[in-house]
Amino acid sequence: MHCQSCADAIGGSLRSLKGVKEAKVEFAKSKATVRFDPGQTDSLKVRKAIEGAGYRVA
pLDDT at residue 1 greater than cutoff 90: no
Q: Could you tell me the residue ranges of all domains in the chain?
A: 4-52
CATH of domain 4-52: 3.30.70.100
Residues 1 and 20: their CA atoms lie apart, in Å, by: 21
Give the residue, 21 or 58, on which the prediction is more confident. Answer: 21
Which pLDDT tens digit goes with each residue over 16-43? 999 999 999 999 999 999 999 999 999 9
> Which DSSP string do the residues of 23-58 spell out, in sequence order?
EEEETTTTEEEEEE-TTT--HHHHHHHHHHTT----
**pLDDT computed for residue 42 by the predictor:** 97
Alpha-carbon distance 42 to 52, whole Å? Answer: 15
What's this model's pTM, rounded to 2 decimal places?
0.87
Q: Are 47 and 36 in contact (CB under 8 A)?
A: no
Q: Residue 54: left if φ>0, alpha if ψ -120 to 50, beta else—which one?
A: left
